[in-house]
């Protein structure tokens, strides 16, 4: 069986071999031409150069002879002798590169004439050495020596002309050889192209079934599992691949039918689960197209049953607050409640959202549940009203108890024993704790209900911090804790309730003092922030466990110390602090690590009083 690999390899080898043969043949022909050109041109170039230099040295000798007559004979004779050596050197090089008998004979004539020329020149020099020789020297020079020099020049020019004629003949031969080589290479290239074209046609025919197979695979990939690939009768791998692919598509078709039934069942199951959930629930894809919406959500948003199918969230939900939540652009705190008025009653919903992700972590959609907490909100309101009522009713008896204890401690009704004084002092402390608890409960109740009047005024933060820390200075010194304050005087004033924010800073500083061991540090800083001011209270104390960070600002939440006991607090301070900050439009949060300390930070927005 001749497989597909053999067919492709055969076509490829034909192309490679023909191309290689053409290249080798072309390289050989041009190499032969190049060697011939290089050899001939080198010889003729050297002869031409020698002839030119012989003429040059002969002219210099003529000038030297004139200098003998007109100037210093001895110095001019030295120049003459130097150029004689140069002439003979170039004459010898010309003999070395002479390739024809004519050139050699002409060079021999030049040598004979030059030796005679030297002899006459020496006679001229000897004549100049005799008395009265300068008078007859010009006649001898121009009558005897100069004609011989001109004859030598003519012979040298004849050598130069013969060399140039040889170069011209060589150029003609080169052109003829080049044309022959070019014709040969063209013929070889045409043959190579024909063979390559034939191999290409053979390869294309061999690969055509693959093109058909690719198109069928694309149609199958687009979901047309009923596609059948024609089984080729060829005995190569393509025929086997076609048969195996048809078997695979048949298995895929059966598997898809089974999966479709499962997907439909799962979809109905999901729809049933979503519909059975009492709270409003919306499922949307990554393009904000609604996939599922239960009856509670339809009722909440006033959407007719089933009318949301195929629509986007923007077309169904008109309220901007809900859209920010459903599109994942929520800017409120995670525990914030969304409200809507329905039938004259305010309904409260706590949003819960989960992302639908694929295997690569990409978002495929969102599931949003709106937990109806109206009943719990009403219970919390009733509890707050009950606590406020009880606290208000306790104020009068507590005031009476406090006055009675003060009268007893002052021994107005008679002297007390030391044991009686201890008991009454303990009762006094308990009454004070109860009074503080009642005060905090009433304060928190007023803040939560909105009955607490906020009196805003422009206050410098440095003044607020100084006022809040003044009562705590002695306690910091007695406990041996360093108090560092970094609040620049040039910070802009902010509109706040002076009394409430003094209490917030004092409470945070007092907590830091309580939970920091002697030798530690408490740092209070204030910086200008975008849109407001940021104040931080940082300590080097015990820190807060990760599990307590989420509930630290809730009412009656207390952080346990290392020994498992609770410091003297009922857990209302941070809840009141959060209510005060949020009532001013700010936020408060905490960052902490066990055994490293905590940092409480809150912001105060700029605004008008």
In tens, the pLDDT along 248-275 reads: 777 777 777 777 677 677 777 776 787 7
Q: Which of 202, 217, 240 is the last residue of a domain?
A: 202
Residue 431 forms part of a structural domain = no
Q: Which of left, alpha, beta for 486 (phi over 0: left; psi -120 to 50: alpha)? A: beta
The whole-number pLDDT of residue 1 equals 45
Total domain count, the chain: 4
Residue 10 forms part of a structural domain = yes
The whole-number pLDDT of residue 205 equals 66
Instruction: With beta carbons less than 8 A apart as the criterion, state whether 342 and 348 touch.
Output: no
Strand partners of residue 594: none
Instruction: With beta carbons less than 8 A apart as the criterion, state whether 492 and 457 touch.
Output: no
pLDDT at 185 over 90: no
Residue 379 forms part of a structural domain = no
The whole-number pLDDT of residue 322 equals 67
Distance CA(190)–CA(185), nearest Å, equals: 9
Distance CA(59)–CA(80), nearest Å, equals: 10
The whole-number pLDDT of residue 434 equals 74
In tens, the pLDDT along 283-316 reads: 877 777 787 888 887 777 777 887 777 777 777 7
Mean pLDDT calculated for residue range 571-590: 87
pLDDT at 80 over 90: no
The whole-number pLDDT of residue 14 equals 65
Query: Which residues have a Cβ under 8 Å from the Cβ of 298 and sit 6 or more positions away?
Result: 304, 305, 308
pLDDT at 561 over 50: yes
Residue 117: CB atoms within 10 A of its CB come to: 21
Is there a single domain that holds both residue 325 and residue 250?
Answer: no
Q: Read off φ and ψ for residue 321, nearest 5 degrees.
A: -65, -45
Strand partners of residue 538: 523, 599
Q: Which of 276, 296, 314 is the last residue of a domain?
A: 276
Distance CA(367)–CA(88), nearest Å, equals: 107
Distance CA(421)–CA(414), nearest Å, equals: 12
Distance CA(584)–CA(607), nearest Å, equals: 10
Residue 592 forms part of a structural domain = yes
Distance CA(123)–CA(127), nearest Å, equals: 6
Q: Read off φ and ψ for residue 353, nearest 5 degrees.
A: -135, 140
User: Which region among 28-32, 118-122, 415-419, 461-465 has the lowest average model confidence (pLDDT)?
Assistant: 28-32
The whole-number pLDDT of residue 53 equals 84
pLDDT at 335 over 60: no
Is there a single domain that holds both residue 195 and residue 329?
Answer: no
CATH number, domain containing residue 103 = 1.20.120
User: Which region among 187-196, 230-239, 240-249 has the lowest average model confidence (pLDDT)?
Assistant: 230-239
The whole-number pLDDT of residue 319 equals 66
Is there a single domain that holds both residue 177 and residue 269?
Answer: no
Instruction: With beta carbons less than 8 A apart as the criterion, state whether 47 and 94 touch.
Output: yes
pLDDT winner (highest mean) among 69-78, 162-171, 368-377: 69-78
Identify which of 99, 86, 106 has the alpha carbon closest to the alpha carbon of residue 42.
99
pLDDT at 277 over 70: yes
In tens, the pLDDT along 130-177 reads: 887 777 778 887 888 888 888 888 878 877 777 777 777 777 777 776
User: Residue 483: pLDDT band by 50, 70, 90 thresholds?
Assistant: very high
Is there a single domain that holds both residue 284 and residue 356?
Answer: yes
Tokens of residue 355, six digits: 């992302």
Q: Read off φ and ψ for residue 8, nearest 5 degrees.
A: -70, -40
Mean pLDDT calculated for residue range 64-72: 82
Residue-wise over 151-190: b if at least 16 C-beta within 10 A, else e? Answer: ebeebbeebbebbeebbeebeeebeebeeebeeebeebbe
The whole-number pLDDT of residue 451 equals 56
Of all residues in the chain, the percent with pLDDT exceeding 70 is: 71
Is there a single domain that holds both residue 21 and residue 62?
Answer: yes
Is there a single domain that holds both residue 595 and residue 462?
Answer: yes
User: Residue 27: pLDDT band by 50, 70, 90 thresholds?
Assistant: low
Is there a single domain that holds both residue 138 and residue 236?
Answer: no
Distance CA(88)–CA(61), nearest Å, equals: 12
Is there a single domain that holds both residue 46 and residue 64?
Answer: yes
Is there a single domain that holds both residue 262 and residue 162?
Answer: no
Residue 32: CB atoms within 10 A of its CB come to: 12
Residue 256 forms part of a structural domain = yes
Distance CA(134)–CA(131), nearest Å, equals: 8
Identify which of 396, 475, 488, 468 has the alpha carbon closest to the alpha carbon of residue 434.
396
The whole-number pLDDT of residue 427 equals 79
pLDDT at 399 over 90: no
In tens, the pLDDT along 487-536 reads: 998 888 899 989 889 999 999 999 999 899 999 999 999 998 877 899 99
Mean pLDDT calculated for residue range 89-95: 80
pLDDT at 234 over 60: no
User: Which region among 369-383, 417-431, 492-506, 526-540 has the lowest average model confidence (pLDDT)?
Assistant: 369-383
Q: Which of 256, 276, 296 is the last residue of a domain?
A: 276
pLDDT winner (highest mean) among 12-16, 407-411, 471-475: 471-475
Range of the domain at 299: 277-372
Distance CA(348)–CA(338), nearest Å, equals: 6
The whole-number pLDDT of residue 394 equals 66
Is there a single domain that holds both residue 87 and residue 18?
Answer: yes
Residue 7: CB atoms within 10 A of its CB come to: 18
Residue 382 forms part of a structural domain = no
Q: What secondary structure letter does DSSP report for 15?
A: H
CATH number, domain containing residue 516 = 3.30.565.10
Distance CA(60)–CA(53), nearest Å, equals: 11
Residue 446 forms part of a structural domain = no
Is there a single domain that holds both residue 54 and residue 91?
Answer: yes
Residue 378 forms part of a structural domain = no
User: Residue 60: pLDDT band by 50, 70, 90 thresholds?
Assistant: confident
Is there a single domain that holds both residue 192 and residue 145?
Answer: yes
Rounded to a whole number of angstroms, the distance between the first and last alpha carbons of the chain is 96
In tens, the pLDDT along 491-502 reads: 888 999 898 899
Average pLDDT, the chain: 76
pLDDT at 212 over 90: no
Mean pLDDT calculated for residue range 24-47: 64
Distance CA(167)–CA(262), nearest Å, equals: 93
Distance CA(481)–CA(515), nearest Å, equals: 11
């Amino acid at each position: 069986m001749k497989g597909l690999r053999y067919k492709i390899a055969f076509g490829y080898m034909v192309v490679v071999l023909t191309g290689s043969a053409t290249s080798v043949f072309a390289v050989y022909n041009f190499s032969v031409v190049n060697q011939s050109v290089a050899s001939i041109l080198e010889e003729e170039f050297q002869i031409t150069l020698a002839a030119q230099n012989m003429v040059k040295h002969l002219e210099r000798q003529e000038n030297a002879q004139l200098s003998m007559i007109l100037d210093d004979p001895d110095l001019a004779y030295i120049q003459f002798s130097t150029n004689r050596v140069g002439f003979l050197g170039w004459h010898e090089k010309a003999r070395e590169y002479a390739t024809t008998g004519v050139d050699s004979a002409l060079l021999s004539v030049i040598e004979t004439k030059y030796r005679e020329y030297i002899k006459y020149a020496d006679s001229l020099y000897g004549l100049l050495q005799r008395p009265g020789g300068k008078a007859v020297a010009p006649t001898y020079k121009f009558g005897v020596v100069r004609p011989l020099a001109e004859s030598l020049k003519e012979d040298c020019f004849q050598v130069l002309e013969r060399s140039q004629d040889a170069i011209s003949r060589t150029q003609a031969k080169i052109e003829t050889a080049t044309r022959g080589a070019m014709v040969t290479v063209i013929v070889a290239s045409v043959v190579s192209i024909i063979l390559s074209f034939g191999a290409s046609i053979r390869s294309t025919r061999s690969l055509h079934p693959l093109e058909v197979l690719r198109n069928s695979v694309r149609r199958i990939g687009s979901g047309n599992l009923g596609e059948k690939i024609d089984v080729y009768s060829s005995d190569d791998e393509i025929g086997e691949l076609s048969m195996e692919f048809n078997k695979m598509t048949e298995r895929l078709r059966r598997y898809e039918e089974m999966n479709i039934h499962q997907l439909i069942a799962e979809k109905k199951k999901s729809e049933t689960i979503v519909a059975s959930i009492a709270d409003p629930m919306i499922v949307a894809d990554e393009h904000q197209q609604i996939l599922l919406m239960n009856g509670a959500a339809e009722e909440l948003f006033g959407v007719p049953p089933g009318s949301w199918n195929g629509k986007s969230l923007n077309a169904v939900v008109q309220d901007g607050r809900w859209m920010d939540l459903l599109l994942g652009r929520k800017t409120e705190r995670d525990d914030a409640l969304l409200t809507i008025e329905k039938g004259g009653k305010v309904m409260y919903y706590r949003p819960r959202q989960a992302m639908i992700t694929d295997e690569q972590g990409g978002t495929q959609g969102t599931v949003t549940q709106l937990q109806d907490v109206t009943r719990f909100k009403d219970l919390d309101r009733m509890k707050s009203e009950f606590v406020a009522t009880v606290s208000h009713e306790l104020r009068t008896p507590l005031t009476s108890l406090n006055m009675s204890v003060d009268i007893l401690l002052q021994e107005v009704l008679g002297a007390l024993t030391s044991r009686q004084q201890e008991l009454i002092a303990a009762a006094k402390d308990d009454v004070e704790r109860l009074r503080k608890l009642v005060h905090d409960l009433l304060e928190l109740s007023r803040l939560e209900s909105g009955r607490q009047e906020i009196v805003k005024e422009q206050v410098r933060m440095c003044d607020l911090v100084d006022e809040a820390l003044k009562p705590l200075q002695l306690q910091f010194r007695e406990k041996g804790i360093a108090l560092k304050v970094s609040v620049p005087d040039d910070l802009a004033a902010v509109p706040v309730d002076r009394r409430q924010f003094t209490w917030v800073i004092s409470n945070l500083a007092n907590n830091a003092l309580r939970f920091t061991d002697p030798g530690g540090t408490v740092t209070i800083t204030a910086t200008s922030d975008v849109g407001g001011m940021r104040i931080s209270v940082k300590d080097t104390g015990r820190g807060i466990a990760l599990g307590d960070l989420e509930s630290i600002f809730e009412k009656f939440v207390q952080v346990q110390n290392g020994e498992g006991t609770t410091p003297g607090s009922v857990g209302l301070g941070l809840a009141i602090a959060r209510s005060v900050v949020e009532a001013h439009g700010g936020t408060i949060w905490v960052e902490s690590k066990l055994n490293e300390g905590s940092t409480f930070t809150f912001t105060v927005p700029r605004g008008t009083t």
